[in-house]
Structure formats: structure tokens, C-alpha cells
Amino acid sequence: MIGVIDYKAGNAPSVYNALKKIGADAKMIRDGSDLDGIDGLILPGVGSAEATMASLAETAILPELTESVCRKKIPFLGICIGMQILFEHSEEGDVDCLGWLKGKVVRFDDECVRVPQMGWNEVSFCRQHPLLKGLGDTGYFYYVNSYYVVPAEKNDILALTDYNGDFCCMAQRDNIMAAQFHIEKSGPLGLTLLKNFVDIALRGEGFSC
């Protein structure tokens, strides 16, 4: 069973719909008690880091979520803002985030490129990982973001995209995986990636890759 964390500022329905499309068992997670029996967790996101952190705090799910991901090592996938808030700090609203991964979130330079980055951009995978099975070396995925992560640990970078220079668009450490682009809105390639995550969650794969 895959749990999709449903909080006010998120787009959980889109992720839930994509999971249904690929035939995965999924349920919405609205409080800590919903986490029982979950094999994998997805934190979707749209909007701002500040609103997302406030909205998550409102649901009072954070202690149980942290326990599940950081101690029980349940496979976890953060999407878009759900990736950004895994890091320590975001420039957006100058807000402290979860800090499960080391690094910060910064804004694209709108002197150089249109911000937000909006549209399909090419993702180049940096290393092998079960999450990327069947995707080849590169693929186009859908972005809507004004901010991007700068991981402190280079080894956490899983993929790069060029927008005014390369930025980290996928990160992974142990059971924590994340993508800046909208996996659930990236057509067939996004659905492949999501299926890979479900496989990892159900088989417990991918922890030490």
C-alpha cells in the first residue's frame, strides 16, 4: 500500500490518480494513524515552501512521518515542493524545512531566465538506481518551479536538468527519493518512474544504491 500525504497545500489527488492509473494500491494519509501498514510514502507538493511547511504542521503528521521515514526507513518519494522541503532551509519565505537531506533551496535568477521555469525540460540521470529503471540516460519531464535544491552532499544528486546551468532535479539518499519535476504529470515517462517507486516500496529495494 502506497500512502499519499494529503495536506491543504498539496496536490495529492493528482498523485493518487496516477497511482491508480498504474494499478497501485494507494490511500490518502491525513494523520499519523493512517501510516499503519504503509509500504511507501509520497509527499506531493505545489505552491510555496512556506505554505507547505505551515500546512504540514497544521495536519500534525510530522512526528509520525519523521518516525516512518527516518527511523523505520520506509521508502519515501518527495515531488516538487515535496522535494524542496526535505532540505534544511528554503529562500522562499526564508523558512526552515525538514532537514532530512543536507542543503538549501534557492531561487532561479530571473535576470537570466523566465521564472517560474514552466514546461518540459530534459532530465539527465547521473547514476543507476532502481527508480530510473527503463528510462535510459535522459528523458523529458514537466516542471513548474521557481526554486531548486542545492544539496550539500554531491552524492545525493540523482539527476540534473539545465535551466540557466545544471541544477539538481532528483535526489536520493537511502530510502529517501525526490524529484523536482511533476512525476504525476509527466506523461508515460512519469508513470514509469512512479511504477518504479511502487516496485521499490513493495519489494523493499533500493536502500543502499
Which residues are known to be catalytic? 80, 182, 184
Considering only the stretches 13-21, 58-66, 124-132, 165-173, report the one whose residues sit in contact with other proteins under the rule CB under 8 A: 13-21
Rounded to whole angstroms, the Cα distance separating 31 from 106 reads: 30
Q: Name, in order, each residue with C-beta under 8 angstroms of 5's C-beta and a sequence gap of 6 or more.
A: 12, 28, 29, 41, 42, 43, 44, 56, 61, 65, 82
Q: What are the two backbone dihedrals, phi and then psi, of residue 176, each rounded to the nearest 5 degrees? A: -95, 120
Least Cβ distance, residue 102 to other proteins (angstroms): 25
How far apart are alpha carbons 209 and 191 in whole angstroms?
A: 21
Q: Is 20 in the site for other proteins (CB under 8 A)?
A: yes
The alpha carbon of residue 143 and the mean position of all alpha carbons in its chain are separated, in whole angstroms, by 12
Number of shown-chain residues binding other proteins (CB under 8 A): 41
Q: Binding mask 60-89 vs other proteins (x if CB under 8 A, - otherwise)?
A: ---------------------x--------
> Is there a contact between 183 and 203 (Cβ–Cβ < 8 Å)?
no
188 near other proteins, judged by CB under 8 A: yes
Question: Which backbone phi and psi does 111 adopt, to 5 degrees?
Answer: -75, -25
Question: Which residue in 140, 174, 205, 209 binds other proteins (CB under 8 A)?
Answer: 140
Contact window for other proteins (CB under 8 A) among 29-37, 59-67, 168-176, 183-191: 183-191
Q: Which residues bind other proteins (CB under 8 A)?
A: 8-9, 11, 13-14, 17-18, 20-21, 46-48, 51, 81, 110, 114-122, 140, 142-146, 162-163, 182, 184-191
